[in-house]
Amino acid sequence: MFHTVLPGLGLPPYDSLLCPPLFGLDSDVHNYLAPALCDVKMRQARAMTKFSQIASTPPTPPPRCSLVVLLLQAMLFAFFWSPVPHTHAAEVIAKVDEGTTNWVPPVADAGPTALLKPFVAPQMPWSAAHRGIDIRASTEQVLAPAAGEVTFVGQVVDRPVITIRHSNGLLSSFEPVDSDLEVGTVVASGEPLGKISAETGHCEVQCVHWGVRVPDGWQIGSTVRDLYIDPGFLLGWTEPSILWPVHSEPAS
């Protein structure tokens, strides 16, 4: 085996086994062409060797998940994903309306036309929605829509709120309402609860926000959350749809 290089041209040496002499050519031509042709052949040989090494190397197996990780993933999937069952709205209304009749608007002389913003049910307990209705108020006084007992009076974030519990367990909350009533006070239907706050506006015009919920009425997996319902149903201002999505059967 011998190597040949053309002095002064900087061409790489060539292997005599890969690049045998070019017979039948003038010596000057041979010395000029041989190194270049040899360089091409040597590059091809190195490429084939590299390809053979890659082809013969077994693929790296993917990382194995431990049994604990797989079980955890399965538990999380089962907890957060489930089909969305429906229940008839009439069943829910019958349940929440049991023992409570003669609901009245929380502001005097209000009718369906006073509804500024309707109820929008959340898809999930933590989803964005409008969990109540906004009613235009011609006066600042807020009335109890049904008999009940005051369970909360105070600030929620930046607005005053009052909540009463009705005889059937429903909770009615009103905001922004300033009230002098104390927790434990029993009120009759139509009795004043307080006045719409002049410092905290909820609508562009004077209004009260009324939300109604069933405590622990929404079962999600092994947990329960409050189920918000449309107060307009109770007043007869709106009609329930044929199917009311609640994502699970109302908790008993």
- Look up tokens 């349940």; give the residue: 95
Can you read off the two tokens belonging to residue 216?
Answer: 């622990």
For the segment 95-104, what is each residue's pLDDT rounded down to a tens digit?
Answer: 555 544 589 9
More confident residue, 101 or 18: 101
Please report the pLDDT score of residue 4 as a whole number.
47
Describe the chain by its helix, strand, coil percentages, rounded to 5: 25, 30, 45
Q: Return the CATH number of 84-245, one of 1.10.3720.10, 2.40.50.140, 1.25.40.10, 2.70.70.10.
A: 2.70.70.10
Q: 64: which DSSP letter?
A: P
% of the chain surpassing 90 pLDDT: 38
**How do the domains of the chain map onto residue ranges?**
3-56, 84-245
| H or E, element range at 187 | strand 186-187
Give one DSSP letter per residue of 23-40, joined into a string. TTS-HHHHHHHHHHHHHH
**Cα distances (angstroms) measured from residue 212 to each of 33, 165, 167, 192:** 94, 10, 13, 18
- Look up tokens 């109540």; give the residue: 132
pLDDT at residue 28 above 60?
no
More confident residue, 141 or 32: 141
**Cα distances (angstroms) measured from residue 44 to each of 8, 40, 141:** 25, 6, 93
For the segment 97-152, what is each residue's pLDDT rounded down to a tens digit?
Answer: 554 458 999 999 899 999 999 999 888 888 888 999 999 999 999 999 999 999 99
- Cα separation, 84 vs 194, whole angstroms: 40
pLDDT averaged over every residue in the chain: 75
Nearest to 136 by CA among 165, 168, 102, 113: 113
For the segment 179-226, what is each residue's pLDDT rounded down to a tens digit?
Answer: 999 999 999 999 999 999 987 777 889 999 999 999 988 887 888 888
Please report the pLDDT score of residue 87 as a whole number.
40
